[in-house]
Chains A and B, each alone.
Chain A
């Protein structure tokens, strides 16, 4: 147990922090991230990869601090974890070198975050497959060269790496309040060759859950960076803002609220670290999923509190679009719910823990 950073980790943290502070309004950082080598975080060393979940945490925390809008979570962490676990090192190599961009298309209108509840189908057609269905909330869809699409094959859920320009694919992009690139993806009679299969026929769900867990941990780290900034800004503001002839920060009601924010922030920090630790050390999928659900649920709860109180303690200025706290708050509000909100993860946490003793309750 050692929470100090190694020299390499410090270097990574500092360089991401510098990037996050300097970046102007650039929208897409894929190329830059590739040049800086950050797309290789967590990849096997012989592909030029380095680090793992802790490095992802350090990177995401700094991106969160800078409120950097980037395809890193969707196109590097999420898809990367899947390609790695499915042993598709050919595709992973293209991804970390920045040549190919994969977005994961798994959620469906009726699914309520659950990757198992899908209606998209894959039926055999000669030596390939025909895919039909609709995917929603596909993150960073419009810049992806291919989608990792989940579909029910009749022999379990499988993942297919379908080129974004394949005939039968329609993208409906819509504006997102956090500025992200999001779209629904319709698949109508889309042909996919056998070589597009990522993992085995029945392994799609486990691969997806693994990818969701890695991406969720990354979102937890992003939330950490954002909430730290929101608390700092709130403390700073209440010291400078005078009412009744004194700084707002001199009122105990506000001091206690900020102390509450601090406690929530530290619990959130712990949850983000716990998520990284879970990914580092947990080889059993059930324990891993439980750990991530615990972390994501805590981050959702603490993050919502910190965000709401940051707006409240700023007063009117907190409502203003041009002031930064509002923008952090909106992104935090998305991060809370992306890949599963608090209710979903609390339920997942409960279901995964069902022991024979507990099942007897419902009989």
Chain B
């Protein structure tokens, strides 16, 4: 057992730190620090800078243009990104659809889609949830009817982050209405410019417009855009969700918020001991969670697939994120400027997305505790 980072890992961390400090555009850093909204171009510019450095796809294999880093290096990279106030790359292309295409797609699909995800030329979004299918995703009703070499898709997808920017959407749709619930679902890639696709923004309680509803009306998609087998989409969907759950602990981002809290306390001459202790308790829990993440990562770099243990990271990570925005809110007071309440309202989503925290508890109970 060796519970320390190797000199090589530490040198790598310093290299990343230095790169971010010298290459992240100052206007993007400023937006991140003030909580201002990022535009599509902000994400794109930062993506290009990482792409040129060869760091756009930390989780991809080298052969596909990824870095080939192990889980620990990827972790160090993400930590440094957050520490240096760099925006996190949108996950929908790089970390969600790309692994599915890589694992279950065909050569033509890999050649068509992966290079443009890597270069940042094409933005993606995720067509999973529906008005009638949230936690019970398998009850989705969007249907894809096959007519020769074409699927005709009808349905509504909702809570879709970045759909307003996306060039492509990956959609779970029912291709066989007579099959059992989890069967009969297929994984289909849809060009957002296809006639019949429309995007409607949903304004959230924090005033944000980052999520959308996407309507699909008689959208005709080539059958060649289906990934893997017809009716096997649920398997791919679950594969994707496990990828989505890793790395959602957001440790370094939380450390940033803690630092901001500390600065706020000093600026406001706030000597409330109770606040100080609440901060320390969250800080301590964060340390325990960071170490839990390292244990999960060490298992992954030893070759294990991300398992149900990553539910802990999602569950407790989002609780801590929410706890921190709550502390910011309390430290600021009513009608405080800058609008700390906006973060607090925004982060309520964290325990709902990527499988609500109640679903994570179901996963732990069923798959780990086996009750």
Contacts and interface: CB of A to CB of B under 8 A. Distances in A.
Interface stretch (A103-111, A133-141, A265-273): A265-273
Interface stretch (B107-115, B334-342, B357-365): B357-365
Contacts of B315: 263
Contacts of B270: 361
A239 interface: yes
Interface string B262-280: 1001100111000011001
Given A249-B371, A259-B361, A270 B292 contact: yes
B305 interface: no
Given A54-B3, A350-B280, A361-B271, A274 B358 contact: no
A125 B280 CA distance: 46
A100 B271 CA distance: 49
Contacts of A155: none
A14 interface: no
A357 B281 contact: no
Size class of the B contact interface (CB-based, 8 Å): 35 or more
A281 interface: yes
A350 B276 contact: yes
A250 B369 CA distance: 12
A298 B294 contact: no
A120 interface: no
B223 interface: no
Interface string A265-288: 011111101101100110000000
A270 B289 contact: yes
Contact of A1 (B9, B266, B271): B9
Interface stretch (B144-152, B225-233, B295-303): B295-303
Interface residues of A, number: 48
Contacts of A350: 276-277, 280
A263 B365 contact: no
A298 B287 contact: yes
B350 to A, nearest CB: 16
B254 interface: no
Contacts of B280: 346, 349-350
Contacts of A268: 288
A350 B262 CA distance: 12
Most buried by B among A266, A347, A362: A266
Contacts of B298: 1-3
Contacts of B287: 271, 274, 294, 298
Contact of B284 (A5, A255, A298): A298
B291 interface: yes
A270 B291 contact: yes
B4 A281 contact: yes
Contacts of B295: 3, 269-270, 273
B20 interface: no
B2 interface: yes
A239 B371 contact: yes
Contact of B368 (A262, A271, A347, A360): A262
B371 A235 contact: yes
Contacts of A6: 1
A273 B3 contact: yes
A235 B366 CA distance: 11
Nearest to B368: A262
Nearest to B5: A1
B369 A258 contact: yes
A298 B288 contact: yes
A361 B358 contact: no
Contact of B72 (A1, A349, A360): A1
Interface in B325-371: 358, 360-362, 364-366, 368-371
B3 A361 contact: no
Given A263-B316, A349-B284, A9 B3 contact: no
Interface of A: 1-6, 9, 54, 235, 238-239, 249-250, 252, 255-256, 258-260, 262-263, 266-271, 273-274, 276-277, 280-281, 294-295, 297-298, 301-302, 346-347, 349-350, 357-358, 360-362
Q: Which 5 A-B pairs have the closest CB atoms?
A: A277-B3, A255-B365, A270-B291, A259-B361, A249-B371
10 contacts: A1-B5, A238-B371, A255-B362, A259-B364, A260-B361, A262-B364, A262-B368, A346-B281, A357-B266, A358-B265
Given A298-B287, A302-B288, 4 more contacts: A1-B2, A255-B362, A270-B292, A273-B3
